[in-house]
């Protein structure tokens, strides 16, 4: 008995890895459960939904700016967060432009927008466009507000930005109705510090799970109007959209991963407590 | 002499942004911002170039002298060269489908899976760390573990299911408890940390601006 609890106390990490691997793989084959929707996610959904009532947005005089500051490392979360809002915009016929301050961002977002454009019959350059990558220094953010086209000269496909059909009425960030910023980095601070107060637009965001605690603070301070927190937020958004996609499916995997970690914590504590007690005796 | 020049440029740069932010726009400083952005882009490009030269110097020596793990350096340099060459080729010959296909393949099927896999390994480390580190040895540890469990259970549907028989507004439902912890206690702690960090950042910036910072660069002179 003593031996058993000692093993439990110092369980080989390879066994932990193997159990986790089996549980995560098995969870892919179990159907997902509906997710309770949190207030920050609901706020993002309501703002995006409300855009279709906006006269300027309907007439194409104002657009949505999607800023996918994302990379492959966080794509499991940020990719789905990007997709759900793009899908919502395309569904409601709202035009949007993509611009990123992370080199991989435009390419990753381009794949998502292309696949959604096929599904909803949207045309690149007319219903959405990809402005590409920009070097993210503090001065660039300020310049975007003052003189948009001095920064945004060519798009992702190397075409002059001013010649993109949907951009013909867009003079700069003052013609943006909503900024949606997705990231696993700290770039949100630049948007809040240098852009937010100078433009008349709603501002929503999405972050990775590890940054959720920071964003709760930013949201509570009303510096952003809503945010999608990690995979769970993306799954909530899918539920609101009525789409059963990767968010809900991956959340099921995370569901089992969390439960297993909780089980590990309890087992580890039982092992440590009992073996300590037996050793004393 | 070099130190004085750097100090003067740093001070003037800091003074410009200070005045631009605090003084009225009528002064015209704000209009200079777009031109300043071009200067900063050029400086950043130089920094990237210097970084690449440095990487080639360091890892090139590793390969030439066949130091321990030289093959890792070799793989790094080859990867940089291959990605760079195909990116340049795509830029200048973007009508060539074969080149674009190879570049897409390298990005979508080599780089992205490698990056994602590396990050995904964290899940295994977290599980192992949770097993070993979350031990109830004191009151503080017990408190931290309880809060972590509540937040985790409030995040996942199965956890939410456990308290689903309670009223939707009940404070004892896991998801409501989680929102309470995240929205109140977490925010209070985060704001305290943020304020302290910003005060530190401000002091550090002032030291750099006024040339008071004695970093490693100045000590070498």
Sign of the CA dihedral with B68 first, then B69, B71, and B77 last: negative
What is the distance in angstroms between the Cα of A50 and the nearest Cα belonging to chain B? 25
Hey, is the C-beta of A268 within 8 angstroms of any chain B C-beta? yes
Alpha carbon separation from A32 to A232, A245, B153 (Å, rounded): 12, 10, 16
In angstroms, what is the C-alpha Rg of chain B?
A: 27
pLDDT at B219: 57
Q: Which residues of chain A carry a pLDDT beneath 70?
A: none
CA-wise closest residue to A161 among A250, A76, A99, A88: A99
What is the distance in angstroms between the Cα of A128 and the nearest Cα belonging to chain B? 22
Hey, is the C-beta of A185 within 8 angstroms of any chain B C-beta? no
* Measured distance CA(A141)–CA(A196) in Å, rounded: 10
Kindly provide the b/e burial profile for residues B6-26, where b requires at least 16 CB atoms within 10 angstroms of the residue's own CB. Answer: ebeeeeeebeebeebeeeeee
The interface predicted TM-score (ipTM) is 0.76
pLDDT at A110: 94
Residues in contact with A120: Cβ distance below 8 Å, sequence separation at least 6, in sequence order: A87, A90, A91
Q: In what order do the strands lie in the sheet with A176-183?
A: A128-133, A96-100, A63-69, A176-183, A202-207, A226-229
What is the distance in angstroms between the Cα of B149 and the nearest Cα belonging to chain A? 7
* Measured distance CA(A156)–CA(A98) in Å, rounded: 9
Q: What angle do CA A149, A154, A156 make, to 5 degrees?
A: 130
In chain A, the residue whose alpha carbon lies closest to the alpha carbon of B178 is: A38
- The alpha carbon of residue B116 and the mean position of all alpha carbons in its chain are separated, in whole angstroms, by 16
Token output for A279:
């050793």
pLDDT at B218: 57
3-state secondary structure of B108: helix
Q: How many CB pairs below 8 A link A and B? A: 141
pLDDT at B22: 87
C-beta atoms of A72 and B153 within 8 A = no
C-beta atoms of A213 and B130 within 8 A = no
Residues in contact with A245: Cβ distance below 8 Å, sequence separation at least 6, in sequence order: A80, A83, A84, A238
C-beta atoms of B183 and A220 within 8 A = yes
pLDDT at B221: 47
Q: Which residues of chain B carry a pLDDT beneath 70?
A: 94, 215-221
Sign of the CA dihedral with B28 first, then B36, A141, and A175 last: positive
Q: Which DSSP string corresponds to B36-88?
A: HHHHHHHHHHHHHHHHHHHHHHHHHHHHHTT-TTHHHHHHHHHHHHHHHHHHH
- Give the one of B34, B119, B187 whose C-beta lies nearest to A150's C-beta: B34
Hey, is the C-beta of A14 within 8 angstroms of any chain B C-beta? no
Q: Crossing angle, helix A246-280 and helix B112-133, to 10 degrees? A: 30
pTM of this prediction exceeds 0.95: no
- Give the one of A11, A74, A146 whose C-beta lies nearest to B30's C-beta: A146
């Amino acid at each position: 008995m003593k031996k058993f609890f000692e093993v439990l106390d110092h369980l080989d990490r390879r066994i932990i890895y193997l159990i986790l691997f089996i549980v995560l793989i098995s969870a892919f084959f179990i159907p997902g459960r509906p997710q309770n929707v949190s207030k920050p996610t609901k706020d993002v959904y309501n703002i995006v939904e409300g855009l279709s009532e906006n006269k300027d947005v309907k007439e194409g005089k104002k657009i949505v700016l999607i800023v996918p500051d994302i990379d492959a490392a966080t794509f499991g979360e940020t990719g789905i967060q990007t997709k759900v809002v793009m899908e919502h915009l395309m569904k409601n016929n709202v035009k949007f432009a993509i611009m990123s301050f992370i080199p991989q961002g435009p390419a990753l977002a381009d794949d998502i927008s292309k696949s959604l454009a096929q599904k909803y019959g949207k045309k690149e350059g007319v219903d959405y466009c990809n402005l590409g990558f920009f070097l993210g220094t503090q001065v660039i953010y300020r310049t975007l507000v003052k003189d948009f086209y001095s920064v945004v000269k060519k798009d992702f496909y190397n075409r002059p930005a001013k010649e993109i059909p949907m951009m013909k009425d867009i003079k700069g960030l003052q013609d943006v109705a909503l900024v949606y910023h997705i990231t696993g980095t700290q770039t949100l601070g630049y948007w809040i510090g240098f852009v937010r107060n100078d433009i008349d637009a709603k501002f929503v965001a999405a972050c990775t799970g590890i940054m959720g605690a920071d964003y709760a603070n930013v949201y509570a301070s009303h510096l952003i109007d809503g945010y999608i927190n990690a995979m769970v937020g993306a799954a909530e958004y899918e539920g609101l959209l009525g789409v059963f996609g990767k968010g809900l499916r991956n959340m099921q995997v995370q569901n089992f991963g969390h439960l297993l970690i909780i089980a590990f914590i309890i087992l580890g504590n039982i092992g440590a407590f009992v073996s300590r007690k037996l050793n004393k005796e | 002499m070099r130190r004085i020049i750097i100090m003067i440029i740093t001070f003037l740069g800091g003074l410009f942004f200070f005045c631009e932010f605090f003084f009225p726009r009528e002064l015209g400083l704000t209009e200079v911002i777009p031109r300043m952005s071009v200067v900063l882009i050029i400086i950043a490009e130089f920094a990237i170039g210097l970084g690449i030269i440095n990487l080639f110097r360091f890892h090139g020596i590793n390969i030439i002298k066949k130091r321990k793990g030289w093959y890792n350096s070799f793989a790094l340099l080859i990867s940089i060269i291959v990605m760079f060459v195909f990116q340049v080729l795509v830029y200048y010959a973007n009508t060539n489908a074969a080149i674009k296909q190879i570049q897409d393949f390298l990005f979508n099927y080599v780089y992205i899976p490698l990056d994602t896999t590396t990050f995904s390994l964290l899940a295994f480390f977290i599980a192992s760390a949770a097993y070993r580190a979350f031990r109830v040895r004191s009151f503080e540890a017990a408190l931290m573990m309880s809060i972590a469990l509540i937040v985790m259970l409030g995040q996942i549907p199965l956890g939410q299911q456990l308290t689903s028989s309670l009223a939707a507004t009940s404070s004892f439902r896991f998801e409501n408890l989680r929102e309470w912890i995240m929205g109140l206690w977490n925010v209070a702690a985060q704001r305290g940390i943020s304020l302290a960090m910003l005060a530190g950042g401000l002091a550090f910036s002032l030291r750099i601006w006024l040339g008071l910072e004695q970093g490693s660069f100045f000590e070498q002179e």
